[in-house]
Amino acid sequence: MGFLPRRDQGTKISEDQVYAALSTVQEPELGGDLVSRKMIKNVQIDGGKIAVTVELTTPACPLKDEIQADCERALRTIPGVTDVTIEFTANVRRNAGIPEQAVIPGVTNVIAVAAGKGGVGKSTVAANLAIALSQEGARVGLLDADIHGPSVPILLGMRGMGQPEVFQTPGGEPMIIPYERYGIKLISVGFLIDEQQPVIWRGPMVTQMLRQFIRNVNWAPLDYLVVDMPPGTGDVALTLAQSLPLSGALIVTTPQMMATADVVKAIQMFNRVNVPMLGIVENMAYFIAPDTGNRYDIFGTGGAARLAQELDLPLLGQIPLGMSVRAGSDEGVPAVLTDAPDAYAEVFRAVARQLAARISVMAFA
Ligand code: ADP
């Protein structure tokens, strides 16, 4: 720092002033102010210019803009300020309820994406949310554990990739190297089994496969591992729900009543094994005709909202039916990577941010 001319010394801004100003800014979701929450990581003062780094609990924070505006407003009350720069970093925390020995090394949060039954778009939502979280700056993995119908290889355009490579740790343990696609790491049961051979999964096989997924995949470091669960509440789904160190589960449903009835069973399954519910995503919620812009509630309306209210769970978002969502899945380029209006990338991203926020809130609960 150079010598300041004498007359400027009276208006020199101090770090104390910066911290005092920022201590008036509340963390909108978790409560408390940014300073006592130790979210201010770096303060630089250069004459009238202040630069501050704020550490969030997720890079996908939906309230980033609000926090930024509040910090700027607070800092501008300091006499002599000319410029304010707010930068963000993130430190994703783990749900403290998960026992240390169950944690997957280097993986902070494991999120189950589940559904009461097949065909509601669970895999589509899981893949798009995983990529959306990574687009927000998080380190993300996707585990396709839908052992009866692994669809991630198709959704991400990775059919026929064959078995991933394996290396030996210094301790002699085999470690599977996950594939990387669109910024996320991924493993699918589809890569590990022969697509042509139907597999009859029995308890010990599921347990063994699970062990491999948890212990023998080189996932680390990840902020979020999204798990595409088998639909329903059968043995395999239950074994997974019980054995994965889940931070929480997200339920995907469609507005039809039948789908929502099955959803209750899926939620009960997670409740029974003490996995917290992160919320509900309503997929295929409505259709907007591309030619007229008219909205059609093809499968009825309000089912998921009613269910969310009855069960006291957040409805994290509603994803419309979109031709480009379907086309993206078939072509192996998920909707969030395209900008077609009916790919609803922004809707998926908004759901991803809500999900990340909910996980942060739970980690601090
Ligand atoms: P699940 O995993 O629940 O069995 P999938 O994700 O495989 O369901 O989706 C079933 C079908 O519905 C796929 O063809 C997929 O492309 C399509 N789909 C899913 N979500 C949407 C959506 N929002 N709009 C249009 N098609 C969708």
183 with 288, same domain: the answer is yes
Q: Is 176 left (phi over 0), alpha (psi -120 to 50) or beta?
A: beta
Atom of ligand 1 nearest to the CA of 124: 6
Task: Answer yes or no: is 5 within a domain.
Answer: no
The predicted-structure confidence for 274-290, as pLDDT tens digits, reads as follows 999 999 999 999 999 98
33 with 146, same domain: the answer is no
Q: Residue 204's pLDDT is what? A: 78
341 with 236, same domain: the answer is yes
Inform me whether the pLDDT recorded for 3 exceeds 80: no
Nearest to 62 by CA among 278, 361, 357, 336: 357
Q: Is 241 in the pocket of ligand 1 (CB under 6 A)?
A: no
213 with 168, same domain: the answer is yes
Q: Residue 341's pLDDT is what? A: 93
Task: Answer yes or no: is 340 within a domain.
Answer: yes
- The CA-based angle 315-299-271, given to 5 degrees, is 40
In this prediction, residues 187-207 reach a mean pLDDT of 76
Helix (H) or strand (E) holding 48: none
In this prediction, residues 264-272 reach a mean pLDDT of 95
Contact between 136 and 90 (Cβ < 8 Å):
no
145 with 165, same domain: the answer is yes
Measured CA to CA, the distance from residue 14 to residue 298 in angstroms comes to 60
CA–centroid distance, 121 to ligand 1, in Å, is 4
Atom of ligand 1 nearest to the CA of 149: 4
237 with 293, same domain: the answer is yes
244 with 180, same domain: the answer is yes
Look at the chain and count its residues: 365
CA–centroid distance, 202 to ligand 1, in Å, is 27
Q: Residue 195's pLDDT is what? A: 65
Task: Answer yes or no: is 7 within a domain.
Answer: no
354: three-class secondary structure by DSSP = helix
Q: Residue 7's pLDDT is what? A: 45
Task: Single out the residue in 39, 64, 90 at which a domain terminates.
Answer: 90
Atom of ligand 1 nearest to the CA of 320: 23
Measured CA to CA, the distance from residue 304 to residue 121 in angstroms comes to 15
| Least confidently predicted of 164-168, 216-220, 260-264, 288-292 | 260-264
CATH code, 338: 3.40.50.300
Q: Is 332 in the pocket of ligand 1 (CB under 6 A)?
A: no
The predicted-structure confidence for 127-162, as pLDDT tens digits, reads as follows 999 999 999 999 999 999 988 888 999 999 998 888
Nearest to 120 by CA among 249, 288, 255: 255
Q: How many CB atoms lie within 10 A of CB 127?
A: 30
The predicted-structure confidence for 93-134, as pLDDT tens digits, reads as follows 887 778 777 888 899 999 999 999 999 999 999 999 999 999
Q: Residue 61's pLDDT is what? A: 95
Q: Is 119 in the pocket of ligand 1 (CB under 6 A)?
A: yes
CA–centroid distance, 161 to ligand 1, in Å, is 22
Task: Answer yes or no: is 272 within a domain.
Answer: yes
Inform me whether the pLDDT recorded for 331 exceeds 60: yes
Q: Residue 160's pLDDT is what? A: 83
Q: Residue 256's pLDDT is what? A: 80
Task: Single out the residue in 90, 114, 130 at which a domain terminates.
Answer: 90
- The range of the structural domain enclosing residue 37 comes to 15-90
Q: Is 118 in the pocket of ligand 1 (CB under 6 A)?
A: yes
**What is each CA distance from 219 to 117, 147, 170, 238, in whole angstroms?**
28, 19, 17, 23
Task: Answer yes or no: is 1 within a domain.
Answer: no
**What is each CA distance from 85 to 182, 340, 360, in whole angstroms?**
31, 34, 25
Q: How many CB atoms lie within 10 A of CB 149?
A: 15
Task: Answer yes or no: is 23 within a domain.
Answer: yes
44 with 163, same domain: the answer is no
In this prediction, residues 76-80 reach a mean pLDDT of 96
CA–centroid distance, 58 to ligand 1, in Å, is 28
CA–centroid distance, 124 to ligand 1, in Å, is 5
Residue 19: CB partners within 8 Å, gap ≥ 6? 35, 40, 43
Inform me whether the pLDDT recorded for 6 exceeds 70: no
Q: Residue 220's pLDDT is what? A: 94
Task: Single out the residue in 35, 61, 90 at which a domain terminates.
Answer: 90
pLDDT band per the 50, 70, 90 thresholds, residue 163: confident
- For the chain, what percent of residues have pLDDT higher than 70? 95
Atom of ligand 1 nearest to the CA of 118: 4
In this prediction, residues 65-90 reach a mean pLDDT of 96
In the DSSP assignment, the letter for residue 255 is: S
CA–centroid distance, 326 to ligand 1, in Å, is 6
Pairing of β 184-188 and β 83-90: unpaired
Task: Answer yes or no: is 285 within a domain.
Answer: yes
CA–centroid distance, 126 to ligand 1, in Å, is 11
219 with 201, same domain: the answer is yes
Task: Answer yes or no: is 169 within a domain.
Answer: yes
Inform me whether the pLDDT recorded for 2 exceeds 60: no
Structural domain count of the chain:
2
173 with 287, same domain: the answer is yes
CATH code, 67: 3.30.300.130
Atom of ligand 1 nearest to the CA of 328: 16
Measured CA to CA, the distance from residue 176 to residue 237 in angstroms comes to 23
- For the chain, what percent of residues have pLDDT higher than 90? 71
pTM for the whole thing?
Answer: 0.91
Phi, psi of 306 (to 5 degrees): -60, -45
111 with 259, same domain: the answer is yes
Atom of ligand 1 nearest to the CA of 321: 24
| Alpha-helical segments (H) within the chain | 15-22, 64-75, 122-135, 152-155, 189-192, 203-215, 235-243, 257-272, 303-311, 323-331, 345-364
Task: Choose the most confident range, by mean pLDDT, from 8-12, 67-71, 326-330.
Answer: 67-71
Looking at this protein, which amino acid is placed at residue 142? L
pLDDT band per the 50, 70, 90 thresholds, residue 362: confident
Q: Residue 10's pLDDT is what? A: 56
Measured CA to CA, the distance from residue 50 to residue 10 in angstroms comes to 17
- Average pLDDT value for the chain: 90
78 with 115, same domain: the answer is no
Q: Residue 258's pLDDT is what? A: 63
Q: Residue 47's pLDDT is what? A: 94
Q: Is 151 in the pocket of ligand 1 (CB under 6 A)?
A: yes
